[in-house]
Amino acid sequence: MTPAMHPAWPLLAAAVLAAVLPAGPRRVVAVAGPTVALALAWALPDGGRGEASLLGDTLVWSRVDALGRMFSIVFALIAGLGALYAWATPRRRLLAAALVSAAAAQGIVLAGDWVTLYAAWETLALASFVLVSDGARPASWQAGLRYLLVHLAGGALLLGGIAWHRGTGGDALVGPVGAAAAGWLVLLGFAVNAAIPPLHAWLTDAYPESSPAGSVFLSAFATKSAVYALARVFPGEEVLVWAGVAMALYGVVFAVLETDIRRLLGYHIVSQVGFMVTGVGLGSPLAVSGAAAHAFAHILYKGLLFMGAGAVVHATGRRRLSDLGGLGRAMPWTLVFYMVGAFSISGAPLLNGFVSKSIVVVAAEEAHRAPVAWLLTLASVGTFLSVGLKLPWFAFGGPDRGVRPAPVPGSMLVAMAATSVLCALTGIVPGLLYALLPFPIDYAPYTPAHVLEALQLLAGTLVGFLLLRETLRSSAKVTLDFDWLYRALGRAVAERLAAPIARLADAMEALADDLVDRPVSLAGRIPLPIGYAVLIAVAALGLTLAALQIAS
């Protein structure tokens, strides 16, 4: 396999060109790069492998199998749709960062060795920081810094786990390591990007502060790259089953309380990734394929939802439900396309969420995990309540609050229409999705019993909403989550712990010097690579404390 076949290269080339070309050609290369990447991803050969030598080590920069190829295809697909959505706002920084983040995501899912995966992992963090800070508000820059430092801390944990794993004789190729010893550091590094509570607050803090187009790209890459990594390295880990269930429920509860439309959708990223994490934790071929299928579907319908919400922000300059109302008459096509995404995420028949979400639930039932299946079904009810009913009811319906939205650019509508078609196509013809999954499955979602059950859940949720809509009526408020704890701790750090942190940094520097001087062991007992792994983990703590200072 030659380097030219890697889908990341056309994305990186397009990023460079987008940074230097004028607006017209910049738009074209921003769409052309992902289009070429999609063609390359689709043509990736089974068992394809690319290697390079670096400082005497062999780097496997590409290793192709069905799991990696599926993520590669959908990442290229959403990059192209996002670039089309951004056609009306072709800022250099936005497009360059979006294309680099797409290339980094490609690097993660095709990486064969740990070094390549880590390099792509950190590149994604840096590019995503630019996307968040590109929101052009003071809060965007602050949220971007918090995002960057939290993810650098997560990356330090990942690097520490990799160093420990390799130092104790672990394989250089990315593969299962188990949640023990070095594996715990790797798992924590992945958990940050997967937004597993309480490590999730960066997501709902940062994504709402990005630009409308930036949030589409952000919603696709970080969390789903982490789902891929968990499926690759930790399939069948029991801790992930209950972590995923907790995510699914946690996200919907906070979404019901939230009034910021993009923050509300951010909580549903947490919730829906919970389904994927649960599938990985269950570990059966059906469950892992279900997790992959749901990641594919989620990237499309969540991108569509952020496109719809972004169109509202673009047209009105407002993002709180308490400031919106009656927009359906002025923005009918935005409402139509948004509702496609809303019904898909809620598991309505004929859309891809109905298929992918069902696979994970059925996998739990086949594993005789009835409580898991029941709790995931309960989370689906909360999803329709907030995304499918509360948000459109108070933003697009209800009384006219005097908001006169500007016209939505045609490119945004075309991107939403294309994404809607893909959500419907992969829902009506699930075989198209099944053909991309890592394990063959024989699951028929459109049985009369399953369709009737889904319609009953949707109808019951609608009745409940109509009875409780006055209680759910939006008012201006702020939802407190773990990010507010981080900010409070940040103030304490800035006010009281500056001197101790400086002393800790001096001690870490001295320890690093000591480790370099000891070629065999630390204190005669701990192998040198493990010593470095511990040092890197301590560095992660230092980065976290720095993040707390900036968060204040």
pLDDT 10s digits, 399-446? 788 888 999 999 999 999 999 999 999 999 999 999 999 999 999 999
Could you give the CA distance from residue 3 to residue 136 in angstroms, rounded to a whole number?
36
Name beta bridge partners: 521: 527
Region of poorest pLDDT, from 280-284, 309-313, 361-365, 402-406: 402-406
Percentage of the chain lying above the pLDDT 70 cut:
87
Region of poorest pLDDT, from 57-71, 284-298, 354-368, 526-540: 526-540
Mean pLDDT on 236-262: 95
H-type alpha helices, 497-527:
498-517
pLDDT score, position 16:
96
Helix (H, G, I), strand (E, B) or coil at 545: helix
pLDDT score, position 30:
97
pLDDT value at 97 more than 80: yes
Q: How confident is the model at residue 110 (pLDDT cuts 50, 70, 90)?
A: very high
pLDDT score, position 521:
41
- If one counts every other C-beta atom within 10 angstroms of the C-beta of residue 313, the result is 18
pLDDT score, position 401:
81
Mean pLDDT of the chain: 89
Mean pLDDT on 95-105: 97
Could you give the CA distance from residue 136 to residue 133 in angstroms, rounded to a whole number?
7
pLDDT score, position 550:
46
Q: How confident is the model at residue 540 (pLDDT cuts 50, 70, 90)?
A: low
Q: Between 256 and 541, name the one with better pLDDT.
A: 256
Instruction: Return the CA Rg of the chain.
Output: 23
| SS3 labels along 1-64 | CCHHHCCHHHHHHHHHHHHHCCHHHHHHHHHHHHHHHHHHHHCCCCCCEEEEEECCEEEEEEEC
What is the value of pTM for the model shown?
0.89
pLDDT score, position 322:
87
pLDDT value at 525 more than 50: no
Q: Please report, in angstroms and rounded to a whole number, the separation of the first and last CA atoms in the chain.
A: 48
| Structure tokens that stand for 392 in this block | 């459109």
pLDDT value at 516 more than 80: no
**Smallest Cα–Cα separation from 1: which of 56, 53, 63?**
63
pLDDT value at 490 more than 70: no
The helix or strand, by DSSP H or E, that contains position 224, with its residue range, turns out to be helix 212-233
pLDDT score, position 528:
45
Q: Between 528 and 222, name the one with better pLDDT.
A: 222
Query: 33, 11 in Cβ contact below 8 A?
Result: yes
Q: Between 49 and 17, name the one with better pLDDT.
A: 17
Could you give the CA distance from residue 320 to residue 309 in angstroms, rounded to a whole number?
11
pLDDT score, position 551:
45
pLDDT score, position 526:
43
pLDDT value at 241 more than 70: yes
Could you give the CA distance from residue 69 to residue 413 in angstroms, rounded to a whole number?
29
pLDDT score, position 476:
57
Mean pLDDT on 475-486: 68
The helix or strand, by DSSP H or E, that contains position 526, with its residue range, turns out to be strand 526-527
Sign of the dihedral through C-alpha 508, 514, 520, 523: negative
Mean pLDDT on 515-530: 46
Task: Enumerate the domain spans of the chain.
Answer: 1-177+189-199+207-216+480-552, 235-478
pLDDT value at 312 more than 70: yes
Q: How confident is the model at residue 522 (pLDDT cuts 50, 70, 90)?
A: very low
Query: 48, 10 in Cβ contact below 8 A?
Result: no
Task: Say what angle helices 66-85 and 212-233 make with each other, to 10 degrees.
Answer: 180
pLDDT value at 344 more than 60: yes
